[in-house]
Structure 1
Amino acid sequence: MVNSDMIGEVFSSIFTAAFGPTEAFAGTTAGIVAAMMNGAKRGLFSNEAGMGSAPNAAATASVTHPVRQGLIQSLGVFVDTMIVCSSTAFIVLASGLYNPSNDDSSVGATLTQDSVAASLGDWTIPVMTFLIFVFAFSSLLGNYSYAEVNLQLLTDSTLALTIFRWVVIVFAFIGGILSLQTVWDLADVAMACMALVNLVAILLLSKVAFVVLADFEKQRREGKEPVFVLDDHPELEGRVDPDVWSRAAQAKNPT
């Protein structure tokens, strides 16, 4: 059973491990820098912020103003990182099972599963196993769907699609038999590549983003329900799809 004293110990453990003088200046893992890098890597894996994957789903939303969906996506990153990930960390630390000095201790999803079982009982093990399976399976299908749609946008080749599907199957199999550390290392490299490509795209689209954000904030200050109309922004001509955001398109297909 978790009590208030244990919660205090959890917070103390987090801040001491991240900002303690030993960890910051004399630790073998570069202290604060290592903590920030590892947090960024695991956070990126969890919320996918900046990787360019979530916009594949967000782009299908039907909204009156693109900034509205952007704010929803930002809220999703906050909930995932600050609430879900923090809650998981609290569960692990409160269980007392986490021991970074013990190489034989469980890690990853197994550590979370063992921590929940230590607090609530062994009956949670099959439940957690099922939840982890559903999360992994749905993530695989979701990311595959993103990739296939993008591939079909680039080419109509049936051969390319077949090869891509086999590559996905092979990598899913390899990921299931490799060591956890190797999988994490490969995932970190892949995510870094995705983030670098996406950051270039974000930079190129920054002008559009700032114009659209200014339009949203202006309408909010005027007490209006924000509606983006491309015709009001001639500076964005050729950079925003008129088949979606022009006045004629919205009149034809009101959201």
Structure 2
Amino acid sequence: MTFVENFFCVLDDLTWGWSLIPLLVIFGAFITLMTGCVQFRYFKRMFAVLSPKNESADPNNVSARAALMLSVGGRVGGGNIAGVAVAITLGGPGAVFWMWAIAFIGMATSLVECSLAQLFKRKQPDGTFRGGPANTIIHGLGAQYKWLAVVYAVCLLAAFGLGFNAFQGNTVAGSVESSLGINRYITGVLLAIVTAAIVFGGIRRIARVSEVVVPLMAMIYILMAVVIILLNITEIPSVLASIFANAFGFEEAVSGGMGAAIAQGIRRGLFSNEAGLGSAPNVAAAADVRHPISQGITQSFSVFIDTLVICSCTAFVILLGNIYSPGANGIDGVVLTQQSLAYHLGDWTQYLLSLMILLFAFSSIIYNYYLGENAIAVMTQHPMATLALRIVIVAVVFLGAIAPGATAVFFFSDPMMGVLAVVNLVAIMMLLPTCLRILRDYQGQLSRGIQRPVLNPEMFSDLDIDATAWSEQSIRK
């Protein structure tokens, strides 16, 4: 067992330790330049996904908005509450600026990886769509790279389907036990029952639940932050000044100064918004849209919501209070956020924060399950495989909830996520010219006055596109 743990520790060092974060930053900056800063040029169009006009033509399919909410539900989690607090504790207020910076770069990366997932998606017998980096590798790079797709799928299943779901179950049970005194077994049973009811309903039910849960949890948390900002509106200029001064080394708040701010801001930002990690494209491919780029723009918006909105809410809640002390590491993580909320609004907020953690974790569980289902589909088409996965996921959520220290067994999650991120980055860089082709097609249609561009698969006959997944698009034009 020690040998296995050491192996995954080395794997973690090789990915997250020194290679992956620089790759994400460099590739993200390169993609931003190659696409002509597409995340800024199409920023206004991101909000169009909220319009009823963007509903799926087939009410049984997953709409662009439902895919957005499911994606946001997966991205938003502990990183937005505890991760931001850790970044500020270890990197100072300047970490917030670098978190914003990496989010803007990540918006371009997410647009490319999710557009490619849409382009190479496959229509299923029940009328839904399935895709993601594994499909992108197989149909974009060729069947000779099937082995790479399988490596990606195994890592996706291990990291998200199993490890992170156990962690989320443990997070919910621990929070409820701490704030409400409810036994972990009771929470575990209830969580398992609700999880089963949703995952056995398939992607349509998952998407519908996400459309309700995600806006609810996001709006409650944002509302609290807005109230705190308004109560301390006169302090905002000094907080912003502190963020920028610390970010560029004019003010050293923690040991390491500007270097610590950059390192913590980038690392926590990437962990939170998942841009380039290869998880969100699995959800993006399920959407019924007119053009791949339109879903890429939607998923770029998801990164904006996660980091520029929700992470910023946590940052202002902490920096506007008097709990955080620069250079002091006695309080960090979720405790710092919790105590900061209590300072502003009262002790009752600990119960509301427990509810928020529950909703964040629950939305992540259903998101992680769907990623696991996508991974299984790459490895086998056996009809019993999905059923077995659903049973295992429910069991993993329950076991994670009832065992306070058991999730330490899932030490493989971060290294596996590191490997799948490297595989995903290699694939999207190899297929970047293809994405630029469909981006030019999208831009060309807009320049001709077409407000809602439509993909014509015949124009890309040299690519391995599933024409049946786009056959109805021209009719809707």
Specify if TM > 0.5: yes
Aligned to 1:95: 321
CA distance in 1, matches of 2:425, 2:438: 19
Alignment check: 8 A CA contact 1:50 1:195 kept: yes
Structure 2: which 5+ residue stretches go unaligned?
1-227
Higher relative contact order (CA 8 A, sep 6+): 2
Aligned to 1:195: 421
Cα 1:231–1:156 shift into 2, 3 Å: closer
1:207 has 2:433 as partner: yes
Give 3-state SS (helix, strand or coil) of 2:464's partner: coil
C-alpha deviations, 1:3-48, integer Å up to 9, x for none?
3332122112222322224649xx743x333322211221122221
1:3 has 2:232 as partner: yes
1:233 has 2:455 as partner: no
Deviation (angstroms), 1:67: 0.7
1:56 has 2:282 as partner: yes
Cα 1:211–1:45 shift into 2, 3 Å: same
Aligned to 2:242: 13
Give 3-state SS (helix, strand or coil) of 2:344's partner: helix
CA distance in 1, matches of 2:278, 2:297: 15
Aligned to 1:138: 363
Please list, as runs of the form range in 1=range in 2, the aligned pairs for 1:71-82 lying within 5 A after superposition. Answer: 71-82=297-308
CA distance in 1, matches of 2:464, 2:267: 32
Alignment check: 8 A CA contact 1:208 1:239 kept: no
Deviation (angstroms), 1:66: 0.9
CA distance in 2, matches of 1:251, 1:143: 29
| Match of residue 126, structure 1, among 351, 355, 367 | 351
CA distance in 1, matches of 2:359, 2:398: 20
Give the TM-score, by structure 1 length. Answer: 0.80
Cα 1:83–1:159 shift into 2, 3 Å: closer
Alignment check: 8 A CA contact 1:95 1:119 kept: yes
Aligned length: 243
CA distance in 1, matches of 2:393, 2:296: 31
CA distance in 2, matches of 1:178, 1:206: 41
1:250 has 2:476 as partner: no
Deviation (angstroms), 1:146: 1.0
Give 3-state SS (helix, strand or coil) of 1:95's partner: coil
Deviation (angstroms), 1:189: 4.5
Q: Which amino acid aligns with 1:101?
A: G
Cα 1:136–1:202 shift into 2, 3 Å: same
Aligned to 2:443: 217
Deviation (angstroms), 1:130: 0.8
Structure 1: which 5+ residue stretches go unaligned?
none
Alignment check: 8 A CA contact 1:117 1:123 kept: yes
CA distance in 2, matches of 1:238, 1:254: 23
Cα 1:17–1:187 shift into 2, 3 Å: farther
Please list, as runs of the form range in 1=range in 2, the aligned pairs for 1:98-109 lying within 5 A after superposition. Answer: 98-105=324-331, 107-109=332-334
C-alpha deviations, 1:177-231, integer Å up to 9, x for none?
389xx99x97765543332121112112212211110000000000013111010
Give 3-state SS (helix, strand or coil) of 1:109's partner: helix
Worse-matched range after superposition: 36-45 or 119-128 = 36-45
